[in-house]
Amino acid sequence: MAGRVTASAIAGLGMSELGRVYDKSATSLAADAVRAALADAGLTLDDADGLLVSHGLANDVSVHLASVLGLHDLAVLAQVNAFGATAGVMIAMAAQAIDSGAASVIACVFADAPLRPRARSGTAYGGASRQLRGYSGLQTAAGVANPNTWYALAARRHMERYGTTSEQLGAIAVAQRTWAAGNPLATMRTPLTLADHQASRWIAEPLHLLDCCLVTNGAIAVVVTSAGSAAHMNRPPVHIWGCGQAHTLRQMHAGSSWGLVTGAVGAGRQAMSMAGISPGDVTVCQLYDCYTYTVLVTLEDYGFCAKGEGGPFVADGRLAPGGTLPCNTGGGQLSGYYMWGMTPLAEAVIQARRDGGMRQVPNPEIVLVSGNGGILEHHSTLVLSPHRRTV
Amino acid sequence: MSENPERRPHDEVAGGTIPAVVRDDASAAFFDATARGKLWLRCCLRCQTILTPSARSCTACHGDALGDCRVAGRATLISWVVVYDPPTPVLADCVPYVVGIVEVEGGPWMVARIVAFDATLHVGSDLEVRFVDSGSKKPGEAVPVFVVT
């Protein structure tokens, strides 16, 4: 069922410093990003009447950000959490609030600072060492205790069912690294071969190190307003054609399709239906890529290829520069930077505005953006375009 | 439910150490059973669906009246991984290890260590539960692991 078409647009994009940034809290980084996004739109804090805040692992950014920014009179203020799907969920909430007249300029921000000086990034998502207690302790003791292990279990299931190979997953990593070379903000820009991918150490077999995303400190914000207002602001508007979300909590029981099918099916159908498009209309994809496998299963679930054919679909360079379906054109979370759902969203805005420089795709007319949170439990989809939708 | 065919408590099973797990109120009955070499799951009192030990409501009918349910401990393999990078510091001494999702006879999925196998694992491999003491320096509860049959 298609939702009501929105008449909102993204008018501003702002980023804090990204990477191994240790001298600022997540809240300070978030404040930097909100100020930058408003400035990008040609606005000031006085113009904002809404703020949606998304925290990451460090969990130290909240609605308190409003007072840090001196925003004492807001029409919309909330902390939103659907994990990696949050960016898309925030955009949908903001668009609805704008459409309803509840607010006129809403900043949506994600910030996190899980990296610590002299600590390996791999330790950031592992949790504290503590006494293992009860059923959750039993699961940790068994050895499934972080996203790496869960996603490896999901990838294995897909590989066993459909014949997906590690080399096919590697093709995604190689394509994105090629894109990253054109992104000055990308963390990893040295070219990568399939052999490099195959030779990288196992994290949790079947996932190699180069199947896994980076970890990044920083913040990214976008400003949502009405398409009419956005038309008179600083930068070309990026119009929101469609939004969708689906929350498919992990069913641990016989018959579960976990690892094979994700919430991208429902969220994608909803967003593309609202936008009046089908996968064949999409000119560039920005897909949540916590792992290479996530990109592959999302492409299948959105209907770019049949279920189970994601491996051959990605193996021919289709997603790389010069390919027929440019995907994660800033290097994504694998090679660019890991700002949860803001990584694909920010790159979508950059491409739709034709700000991509060396990595700009020639035809960013319809940009599909995904968010994926938890262990394939939360999914959001956005359809964005530089063009105002004619209904 | 039938008796567990392997009633020896605390089977000695090769396949790496398991960090100490201690009980809490919610898991006390489960660990009382594992200490006796038995696998207790939960069962929906309304529709009899067999559920994971930690279930709070029924995945089939959403009922919240659950009871204990002993199962034989046969299972099939749904997925598995070989973990090399310790997900958390308490697992640092355990790598590499094999952990899987197993479908216990009757339906529920559990995450458990897969130990003592020679054959190549594949989806649908037949498995059977064993129990090992968790913890090395300081002892913990007996925990279920699965072997290929």
| ipTM attached to this prediction | 0.93
B60 DSSP 8-state letter? T
| Helix, strand, coil abundance in chain A, percent, nearest 5 | 35, 20, 45
Residue from A154, A158, A188, A151 nearest A173 by CA: A188
Which has the minimum average pLDDT: A285-289, A347-351, B9-13, B104-108? B9-13
**pLDDT (tens digit, 9 = 90+) per residue, A274-309?**
999 999 999 999 999 999 999 999 999 999 999 999
- pLDDT tier for residue B5 given thresholds of 50, 70 and 90: very low
Q: Is A272 exposed, middle or buried (0-12, 13-18, 19+ CB in 10 A)?
A: buried
Q: Is A323 exposed, middle or buried (0-12, 13-18, 19+ CB in 10 A)?
A: middle
- pLDDT tier for residue A391 given thresholds of 50, 70 and 90: low
Nearest neighbour of A202 by CB, restricted to B18, B80, B82: B82
Cα–Cα dist A267/A260, whole Å: 16
Compute the CA torsion angle A262, A263, A266, A269 (nearest 10 deg).
-80
Residue B3: pLDDT above 60? no
- pLDDT tier for residue B110 given thresholds of 50, 70 and 90: very high
How near does any CA of chain A get to the CA of B42, in Å?
13
Mutate to test the interface with B, among A129, A131, A135 (most CBs of B within 10 A): A135
The CB-side HSE value for A292 (13 A sphere, CA atoms) comes to 32
- Active site annotation includes A288: yes
Cα–Cα dist A84/A371, whole Å: 6
Residues of A in contact with B54 (CB under 8 A): 135-136
CA distances from A48 to A79, A96, A109, A221, A329 (A): 16, 16, 13, 13, 30
Dihedral sign computed on CA atoms, order A283, A288, A293, A299: negative
Q: Is A70 exposed, middle or buried (0-12, 13-18, 19+ CB in 10 A)?
A: exposed
- pLDDT tier for residue A4 given thresholds of 50, 70 and 90: low
* Chain A positions with Cβ closer than 8 Å to B: 122-123, 126-127, 129-146, 148-149, 152-154, 156-157, 160-161, 201-207, 251-256, 259
pLDDT at A15: 98
pLDDT at A59: 76
Cα–Cα dist A382/A287, whole Å: 10
Which has the minimum average pLDDT: A4-13, A255-264, B40-49? A4-13
Tell me the two tokens of residue A169.
């997953």
Average pLDDT over every residue of A168-172? 98
Q: What's chain B's length in residues?
A: 149
Residue A195: pLDDT above 90? yes
**% of chain B residues with pLDDT over 70:** 88
Q: Is A353 exposed, middle or buried (0-12, 13-18, 19+ CB in 10 A)?
A: middle
Nearest neighbour of A145 by CB, restricted to B20, B87, B108: B87
Mean pLDDT of chain B: 88
Nearest neighbour of B88 by CB, restricted to A126, A202, A206: A126
Q: Which residues contact B9 (CB under 8 A, 6 or more apart)?
A: B35, B36, B37, B131, B142
- pLDDT tier for residue B11 given thresholds of 50, 70 and 90: very low
Average pLDDT over every residue of B29-41? 97
Is B48 within 8 Å of B67 (Cβ atoms)? no
Residue B12: pLDDT above 50? no
Mean pLDDT of chain A: 95
Cα–Cα dist A46/A72, whole Å: 10
Q: Which residues contact B48 (CB under 8 A, 6 or more apart)?
A: none
Q: Does B59 touch chain A (CB under 8 A)?
A: yes
How near does any CA of chain A get to the CA of B137, in Å?
13
Mutate to test the interface with A, among B17, B21, B61, B109 (most CBs of A within 10 A): B21
Compute the CA torsion angle A33, A34, A37, A41 (nearest 10 deg).
-160
pTM of the model: 0.95
**% of chain A residues with pLDDT over 70:** 97
Residue A344: pLDDT above 90? yes
What are the strands, taking DSSP E only, across chain A? 8-15, 50-55, 76-79, 105-112, 132-133, 202-205, 207-208, 218-226, 238-247, 284-286, 367-373, 378-385
Average pLDDT over every residue of A218-245? 97
Residue A379: pLDDT above 70? yes
- pLDDT tier for residue A5 given thresholds of 50, 70 and 90: confident
pLDDT at A118: 76
